[in-house]
């Protein structure tokens, strides 16, 4: 697996030059990660149209938003794949996802991932089986805040 980094717009997208278009034609396809505040991350792909002269791009196809992270990578066959992290993960799942794909999250938004993982780990650590859902929320808020302050200090 090879993580793809810094592909955050159509201009900086990862481009595959030989991609199938229907049964007989070939085209280009490009991939990038889009971030929208309040929604999260999503993976976008866009093919070129080989039926038109020159390089004409079709309408982009965007995936579903994942609140806390998205990464592009090449699998063992060299195909582009995506991995996303949403809010329905445990602290361990979020931590494992960050360990495996975290470097692929766009640097300018990586703090969102780190804040989420810190909050989920603190929430899970403060809970026992059978506890009401509100148990662990103060610890999660504190961990989120501490990580946010830490990332603000690193960005300056």
pLDDT at 150: 86
Angle (nearest 5°) at CA 140 between 100 and 83: 25
Do 120 and 147 meet the contact criterion of CB atoms below 8 Å apart?
A: no
Question: 116 pLDDT exceeds 80?
Answer: yes
- In the numeric block, the tokens 């481009």 are attached to 15
Q: Please give the C-alpha separations between residue 11 and each of 31, 33, 144, in angstroms, as whole numbers.
A: 10, 12, 33
- Give 19-60 pLDDT, tens digit per residue: 999 999 999 999 999 999 999 999 999 999 999 999 999 999
Region of 148 please: left (phi>0), alpha (psi -120 to 50) or beta: alpha
Query: Strand pairing of 61-62 and 40-47?
Result: antiparallel
pLDDT at 152: 79
- Give 53-92 pLDDT, tens digit per residue: 999 999 999 999 999 999 999 999 999 999 999 999 999 9
Question: 106 pLDDT exceeds 90?
Answer: no
Question: 108 pLDDT exceeds 90?
Answer: no
- Structural domain spans, the chain: 2-155
Phi and psi at residue 2, in whole multiples of 5°? Answer: -125, 115
- Give 119-156 pLDDT, tens digit per residue: 999 999 999 999 998 999 999 999 999 999 988 776 55
- Give Cβ neighbours of residue 66 (< 8 Å, ≥ 6 apart): 40, 41, 42, 84, 85, 86
């Amino acid at each position: 697996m090879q993580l793809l980094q810094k592909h955050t717009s159509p201009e900086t997208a990862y481009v595959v030059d030989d991609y199938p278009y229907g049964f007989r034609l070939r085209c280009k396809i490009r991939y990038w990660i889009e971030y929208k505040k309040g929604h999260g991350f999503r993976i976008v792909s866009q093919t070129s149209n080989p039926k038109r002269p020159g390089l004409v791009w079709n309408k982009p196809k965007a995936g579903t938003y994942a609140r806390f992270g998205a990464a592009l990578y090449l699998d063992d066959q060299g195909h582009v794949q995506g991995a996303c992290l949403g809010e329905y993960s445990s602290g361990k799942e979020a931590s494992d996802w960050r360990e495996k794909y975290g470097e692929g999250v766009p640097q300018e938004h990586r703090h969102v991932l780190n804040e989420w993982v810190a909050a989920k780990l603190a929430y899970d650590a403060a809970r026992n089986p059978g506890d009401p859902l509100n148990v662990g929320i103060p610890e999660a808020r504190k961990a989120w805040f501490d990580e946010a302050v830490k990332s603000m200090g690193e960005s300056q």
